[in-house]
Amino acid sequence: MRKLFCILLFCTLALPASAQRTREGFAWEYDADFQFIFDNREFAFSKDAVIPSGTLNVLVLAPTVGFSFRQSHTVHHRLSAGVELAHDLGSGVWSDIAREALIYYDAHVRTRHGTFEGLAGIFPRRFLEGYYSEAFFSGLIRNTDRNLEGILLKWRSERFFAELGADWMGQYGQNRRERFQLMSSGRWSATPWLSLGWTGSFYHFAGSELAPNAVDNHLLEPWLKLDAAGHSGWDELSLRAALLAGYQRDRAQSSRPTIPLGGDVMLTARRWGLTLQNETFFGGNLLPLLGQTDPAGNRYGTDLYFCLPTYNGFYDRVELNWMPRLNRFLTLRLAVRAHFGREGFLGWQQQFYLRFSLDALRHRDIVSGRCL
């Protein structure tokens, strides 16, 4: 990994300030994506829902090099290779700074009806454009498992967006499970004030040599959103209502699946870059197998569930965040959260996020990972 980093750094410095075209339609490419992630969690133990306290304070730099090719004015191809560099502030450890290789193909196809984008390889999770609540991926999972290994297909038209992705997370081994996840999100703007959509996850937690059992964990969330902002001066004044339906089964322990159901309501008010948001979940336990173990004695835990462990009957979260409108290549976000469960107040969370995207600065028409 260290040799790969040195090669990529040399190639990046060797490239000129702008992509040098060797012939019509072909260009060398380079990118550097920087993230500063701070997430401080202060939670107390509760009876059924335990969120671990701790602080994530990490710098992430992902340099890539490659080339792009414009097949026509409607078709664009890009091939990139790089490495994710990350350092946990205060750890004093630099030997593991090179975390994961990035190798992916990215294509844009524009038609009269919309834009299609397809990615394949190992690419950053932030390329997902759909909305996935913390019933699907907790903030900790997003910030620590930052890359997907598989494919991502996206389509956007004037009033419709949909994406389908596949993440291959485990190869069959002695104590390593074969596992993969399919994820999808979509939305249709029926009117300026009404949107309909879905979020879905199909997670196959297959077996290993020591634990040959397979576990299914699937979740579907159809939703509708009403936004009354209109001409009121607010950027958003919305209510989002969703139904959550799960399908879970440990095939070695039960012949019948568990089908938890729940509802989720989110209220959002946003103006001047400030957002006040309240999300309330109520219903069944979306994590019935959380504390169980496989035949080898391994606890399922976060290997089976990527959501917050608070989606187990009742959960409420209040968030205040500030995202100023800086520019298209720089993102800043400050947030504070208060979490509540059946037991009452669970804890606080403070977040700071900064991202600089060189690709968004260099390319205004075709940004890597964005179905424009």
Task: Report pLDDT for 230.
Answer: 85
Angle ∠(212,214,219) on CA atoms, nearest 5: 160
* Over residues 5-11, mean pLDDT: 49
pLDDT at 11 over 60: no
- When pLDDT is cut at 50, 70 and 90, the band that residue 100 belongs to is very high
Q: Does residue 159 or residue 25 have the better pLDDT? A: 159
DSSP-assigned letter for residue 23: B
Q: How many Å apart are CA 116 and CA 75, to the nearest integer?
A: 10
pLDDT at 56 over 60: yes
The torsion defined by the Cα of 122, 125, 129 and 132, in degrees rounded to 10, comes to 130
Q: Which of 74, 100, 72 is nearest to 86 (CA)?
A: 100
Q: Does residue 209 or residue 222 have the better pLDDT? A: 222
- When pLDDT is cut at 50, 70 and 90, the band that residue 45 belongs to is low
Within 8 A by CB and 6+ apart from 295, the residues are 210, 211, 212, 213, 252
Strand 147-156 vs strand 236-250: parallel, antiparallel, or unpaired? Answer: unpaired
Q: Which tokens go with 66?
A: 């490659």
State in words which class domain 2-362 has: mainly beta
Task: Report pLDDT for 13.
Answer: 43
Task: Report pLDDT for 21.
Answer: 47
- Residues 326-367: tens digit of each pLDDT: 888 999 999 999 999 988 899 999 999 999 999 888 887 788
Q: Find the farthest-apart pair of alpha carbons in the chain and give their distance in angstroms, rounded.
A: 66
Task: Report pLDDT for 291.
Answer: 84
Task: Report pLDDT for 12.
Answer: 47
Task: Report pLDDT for 207.
Answer: 77
- When pLDDT is cut at 50, 70 and 90, the band that residue 253 belongs to is confident
* Over residues 194-213, mean pLDDT: 89
User: pTM of the full predicted structure?
Assistant: 0.88
* Over residues 311-338, mean pLDDT: 94
Percent of the chain with pLDDT over 90: 65
Residue 277 parent element (H or E): strand 274-285
* Over residues 88-111, mean pLDDT: 93
3-state DSSP: the chain helix, strand, coil percent, rounded to 5? 10, 55, 35
Q: How many Å apart are CA 39 and CA 50, to the nearest integer?
A: 17
The length of the chain, given as a count of residues: 372
Task: Name residue 75's amino acid.
Answer: V
Q: How many Å apart are CA 226 and CA 196, to the nearest integer?
A: 9
Mean pLDDT rounded to a whole number for the chain? 88
Task: Report pLDDT for 18.
Answer: 43
- When pLDDT is cut at 50, 70 and 90, the band that residue 137 belongs to is very high
Task: Name residue 205's amino acid.
Answer: F
* Over residues 99-125, mean pLDDT: 95
pLDDT at 49 over 70: no
Residue 341 parent element (H or E): strand 330-341
Task: Report pLDDT for 239.
Answer: 97
Q: How many Å apart are CA 148 and CA 139, to the nearest integer?
A: 15
Residue 115 near residue 156, CB atoms below 8 Å: yes
Q: Does residue 325 or residue 157 have the better pLDDT? A: 157
Task: Report pLDDT for 202.
Answer: 96
Task: Report pLDDT for 240.
Answer: 98
Task: Report pLDDT for 22.
Answer: 45
DSSP H helical segments within the chain, as ranges?
Answer: 2-14, 139-144, 301-304, 358-362
Percent of the chain with pLDDT over 70: 92
Q: Does residue 66 or residue 10 have the better pLDDT? A: 66
Task: Report pLDDT for 247.
Answer: 95
* Over residues 162-173, mean pLDDT: 91
